[in-house]
Each structure stands twice: as structure tokens, then as C-alpha cells.
């Protein structure tokens, strides 16, 4: 392809995307998200939880001992909203809140065994869906997909994501 004409994927010039191509991409994201959340939603419903509980469990598991303030920053929710979710998870024995070692005003969050079991069931459902999609699409598509997702993130959120991703690499 001649330089300056953009890359071509599936015969579509990506520098000159039409509104129709963008609409198809937006709709694909909506429907993919429905699929991505369908299995965990069924599991969460059995426990009387919602997606906010799932996100909290995921990121507490991802960063053992995270503080409430870190979780607030990662999830981008209000303190009131997070407190409601955490209160339920703690009362139900899925999350443990411990006084911080360095700063006693901080609360460090850990999943209990029951919390790890539920988080594992939720994430395994999503991993299976991602694994199947990645295998079907192939390595180049997977790398391109990740690039697109990262490019859609606001700068500050991308920095958070990259820091978290690189910490566990």
C-alpha cells in the first residue's frame, strides 16, 4: 500500500472511516459487552449482586491489600457507591477490611476464601469467552484489539491501566 493512504483491514481504509463503519464498531462493542457480561451476570444474580460487586471483587483480587482510596480511583465511582458495595461484600464474608500497617486510618481490602471462590467463577466465565474469541481472531487481531481499547481510554485512565497491567506482567 502506498504511504499516506492509511492501513487497510478487510478492504476498509482506516484513515477515512465512514459514519456507517463507526456505527458498526459502536454496535459491535455494545453487543460484545453484553456477551462478555452475560455469564458473570447470571452468577452474580444467584448471589443478589450486580456488576459493581464484580468490579470490586476483580480489583481487590488483582491488588491484594488495596486501599479503599485506590479502589475508588480505579473504579471511578463515588465513595458512597463504593461503601455500599463494600459493606455488602464484607457483611457477606467475601471481603475482609484490615487496618493499614503504615497508616492506621487506611483500610486494606482482601478477598476471603469465599470471595476468591466467587471471583474465580466470575473471571473464569469471562476468560473462557475471551480465550475462544482470541483463538478465533488470531494473534494479530488480538494485538490490534488491545491497541484500539487502549487508544479509546482517556490519558489518565490509560496510565492507570498500563501501571496495573505492567505490575502483573
For 112, the 3-state DSSP assignment is coil
Residue 6 in this model has a pLDDT that exceeds 50: no
Is 0.75 topped by the overall pTM?
yes
Q: Please compute the mean of the pLDDT values over residues 83-90 and round it to a whole number.
A: 97
**Which of 53 and 168 is assigned the larger pLDDT?**
53
Counting Cβ atoms within 10 Å, is residue 135 exposed (0-12), middle (13-18) or buried (19+)? exposed
User: Minimal CA–CA distance to 65: which of 97, 28, 20, 23?
Assistant: 97
Distance of alpha carbon 156 from alpha carbon 76, whole angstroms? 11
Distance of alpha carbon 145 from alpha carbon 50, whole angstroms? 27
Instruction: Give residue 106's pLDDT band: very low, low, confident or very high (50, 70, 90).
Output: confident
Mean pLDDT over each residue of the chain, to the nearest integer: 89
Counting Cβ atoms within 10 Å, is residue 56 exposed (0-12), middle (13-18) or buried (19+)? buried
Q: Do 43 and 58 form a contact (C-beta atoms < 8 A)?
A: no
Q: Please compute the mean of the pLDDT values over residues 22-30 and round it to a whole number.
A: 93
| pLDDT given at position 16 | 72
| pLDDT given at position 168 | 64
> 74 Cβ partners below 8 Å, 6+ apart?
59, 66, 160, 164
Amino acid at each position: 500500500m502506498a504511504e499516506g493512504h492509511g492501513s487497510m483491514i478487510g478492504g476498509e481504509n482506516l484513515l477515512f472511516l465512514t459514519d456507517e463503519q463507526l456505527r458498526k464498531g459502536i454496535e459491535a462493542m455494545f453487543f460484545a459487552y453484553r456477551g462478555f457480561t452475560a455469564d458473570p451476570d447470571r452468577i452474580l444474580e444467584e448471589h443478589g449482586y450486580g456488576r459493581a460487586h464484580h468490579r470490586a471483587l476483580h480489583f481487590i483480587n488483582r491488588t491484594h491489600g488495596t486501599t479503599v482510596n485506590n479502589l475508588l480511583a480505579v473504579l471511578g465511582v463515588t465513595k458512597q457507591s463504593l461503601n455500599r458495595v463494600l459493606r455488602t461484600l464484607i457483611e457477606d464474608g467475601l471481603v475482609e477490611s484490615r487496618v493499614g500497617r503504615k497508616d492506621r486510618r487506611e483500610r486494606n481490602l482482601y478477598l476471603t476464601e469465599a470471595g476468591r471462590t466467587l471471583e474465580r467463577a466470575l473471571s473464569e466465565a469471562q476468560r473462557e469467552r475471551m480465550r475462544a474469541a482470541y483463538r478465533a481472531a488470531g494473534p494479530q487481531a488480538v494485538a490490534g484489539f488491545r491497541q484500539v481499547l487502549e487508544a479509546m481510554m482517556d490519558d489518565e485512565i490509560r496510565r492507570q491501566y498500563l501501571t496495573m497491567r505492567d505490575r502483573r506482567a
